[in-house]
């Protein structure tokens, strides 16, 4: 399904399917972002970073600095 519909599907089901299990930080970012129906570009803009930086995080090619990691955690706790 389109990224836009994922939050609505989860709401309809009443739970997050078990098949969505992330192991690495990058996988967690991708999974959480998709569950919220947010594009990479939108999320990067929200964090105040370049989309290519977010892409590297999602591919586990680099890690966010502590301040941005805190921002990620706060955002996901509020939204999920």
Query: What number of CA atoms fall less than 13 Å from residue 27's CA on the CB side?
Result: 6
| Global pTM value | 0.74
Longest dimension (CA), the chain: 36
Q: pLDDT tens-digit profile of 11-44?
A: 888 877 655 667 899 998 998 888 888 999 999 9
Tokens of 20: 């969505």
Exposed/middle/buried for 31, CB within 10 Å: 0-12, 13-18, 19+?
A: middle
């Amino acid at each position: 399904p389109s990224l836009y519909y994922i939050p609505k599907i989860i709401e309809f089901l009443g739970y997050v399917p078990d098949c969505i299990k992330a192991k690495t930080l990058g996988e967690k970012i991708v999974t959480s972002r998709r569950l919220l129906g947010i594009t990479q570009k939108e999320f990067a803009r929200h964090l105040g970073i370049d989309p290519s930086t977010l892409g590297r995080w999602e591919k586990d090619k680099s890690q966010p600095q502590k301040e941005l990691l805190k921002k990620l955690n706060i955002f996901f706790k509020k939204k999920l």
